[in-house]
């Protein structure tokens, strides 16, 4: 177990050094969601502190799932994936390392809008424990989701990122980022409850003392359920597809 943990941490450090500390990743993972959020929030006349939970949730969602979809195709193209698997490193350890790097990236960059909200505009953080638990669990869930996007055995990262954005962009519009779930029509609330990002948004809103329709405790339970299900699907699918990726 300890040996597998050390190998996963080594992979995570490799990913951070090679894939995360780059300008395009920072731009797409951090600046893109910030400008997108401002474009939709501008002119609505809402207090800045009311917009904070949605901004934190979107930053966390984009940064945690920004790079994991592209890591596997890059590794396939450069043939480093083969060297990793003969180290020997198991598929779960490999995925765990990729996910760990994404979690760290997501948590660190979600702290930026949080610090801005609390320290500069004075947003009331009533329940910091819920905020911390929500950020950690959501980052893990979204990082695993990003790894699931990299399932197709291709060495073309742009193809994978297209698939990723086809899922991620619609999710931000149905998950209470721009319009709180409590203000949505009943049929939209039902659709929103199918998205893990909804529960992230709800628990962050609850942490800042806003009215929510899903209790923060239930949000944590549902996010944990999404995380477990996505992990099982991701590991099973990557194990099945890895021979195709290596042959290709």
pLDDT at 69 over 80: yes
Kindly list the distances between the CA atom of residue 209 and the CA atoms of 41, 44, 56, 198, in Å, as whole numbers in the listed order: 20, 21, 15, 16
Q: Which of the two residues, 39 and 225, has the higher pLDDT score?
A: 225
Q: What is the pTM of this model?
A: 0.89
CB–CB of 125/79 below 8 Å? no
pLDDT score, position 217: 95
Across the range 11-21, mean pLDDT stands at 82
Give tens-digit pLDDT for 81-140. Answer: 777 777 778 888 989 999 999 999 889 888 888 888 888 777 788 899 999 999 999 999
Q: Where does residue 102 rank: exposed (0-12), middle (13-18), buried (19+ CB within 10 A)? A: buried
**Cα 156 versus chain centre, distance:** 21
Question: DSSP characters for 34-67?
Answer: HHHHHHHHTTS---HHHHHHHHHHHHHHHHHTSS
Mean pLDDT, all residues of the chain: 84
Token pair in block for residue 60: 């966390």
């Amino acid at each position: 177990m300890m040996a597998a943990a050390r190998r996963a941490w080594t992979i995570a450090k490799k990913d951070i050094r090679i894939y995360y500390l780059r300008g395009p990743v920072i731009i797409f993972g951090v600046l893109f969601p910030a400008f997108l959020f401002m474009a939709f929030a501008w002119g609505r006349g809402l207090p800045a502190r009311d917009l904070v939970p949605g901004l934190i949730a979107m930053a966390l969602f984009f940064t945690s799932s920004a790079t994991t979809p592209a890591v596997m195709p890059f590794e396939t193209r450069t043939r480093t994936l083969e060297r990793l698997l003969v180290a020997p490193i198991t598929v779960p350890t490999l995925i765990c390392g990729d996910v760990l790097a994404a979690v760290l990236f997501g948590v660190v960059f979600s702290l930026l809008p949080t610090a801005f909200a609390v320290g500069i505009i004075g947003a009331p953080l009533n329940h910091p424990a819920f905020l911390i638990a929500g950020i950690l669990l959501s980052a893990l869930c979204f990082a695993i989701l990003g790894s699931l996007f990299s399932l197709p055995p291709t060495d073309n990262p742009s193809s994978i990122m297209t698939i990723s954005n086809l899922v991620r962009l619609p999710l931000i519009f149905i998950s209470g980022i721009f319009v709180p779930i409590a203000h949505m029509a009943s049929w939209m609330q039902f659709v929103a409850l199918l998205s893990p990002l909804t529960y992230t948004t709800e628990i962050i809103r609850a942490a800042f003392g806003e009215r929510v329709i899903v209790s923060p405790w239930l949000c944590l339970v549902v996010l944990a359920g999404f995380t477990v299900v996505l992990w099982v699907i991701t590991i099973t699918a990557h194990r099945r597809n890895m021979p195709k990726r290596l042959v290709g």
